Amino acid sequence: MSAQATYETILYDKDATDKFATITINRPDKLNAMNKTVVREIDKALAAAVADPDVNALVITGAGRAFSSGYDLQGGDFDVDIDFWRADMGENAEALLNIWKAPIPVIASVNGYALAGALELMMCCDLAIAADNAKFGEPEVRHNSGPPALMMPWLLATRDVRWLMYTGDLVDAEEALRMHLINKIVPADRLKEKTENLARKLARMPVPALKFTKASINNQQMVAGLLPSFQYNIEAIAALHVTRQGREWMANLAKMSLKEYLAFRDGPFKGLD
């Protein structure tokens, strides 16, 4: 596939002077919510980057005022069985793992919100630079759901993992840095510049050095059980979605507007900081 391939929901651009490319989730009117098309197009563009000898590093970011608000809660058929959820979670997890497994370094450039599945996407990247106005969280626990790819325990201290995944609270960039969710905070108006500087640095490194270094780091996590832990999580979240409470929440989503649904979901937690 050539770099000129067309996409509906993302942009794929190669830098004119250095060997790196950028994938931009391009649904700014929906805060870059990730539907199936987004997931599959990111995976397709990732494969194009990996296969291209002129791409030594990759950036993933979002258009407009968000990295991504997570998986799209609108437009789906939620009256489904555990086999559907198992396949759905499996496809999403595989796409995120492909980012983690890519033999080139992948940088998340985080503007605004990085929530739920988008936070997992960010954590599957090798490095993350965030604007000073970025917000991070796993709010889906509040509507009886969970992430398809459980990368957080492989990056953060267990206390911080439990806090984010039990409460659904959002944290700012400073707290995300303390937790090691991200590597660096920069002013929002310099995010593109600073991200591209890092991409240029990585693109100019000896390619085999980064390829084998990444493989060795990833192997350490694999030996420790990363892949079986992902599979367990797929089964757990699929089962969660077909519990009585899970079906009730899905029914609410089908009959409410997204604005009503989020207000209904988050209302009980107002003022409990």
Residues labelled catalytic:
120, 140
Q: Can you name the residues that pair with 25 across neighbouring β-strands?
A: 10, 62
Q: Which residue in 102, 106, 103 sits closest to 125, CA to CA?
A: 106
- Rounded Cα–Cα distance for residues 15 and 220 (Å): 32
- Rounded Cα–Cα distance for residues 182 and 110 (Å): 9
Q: Which residue in 6, 183, 204 sits closest to 107, CA to CA?
A: 183
The size of the chain, in residues, is 273
Specify the pairing of strand 135-137 against strand 170-172. antiparallel
Phi, psi of 186 (to 5 degrees): -135, 160
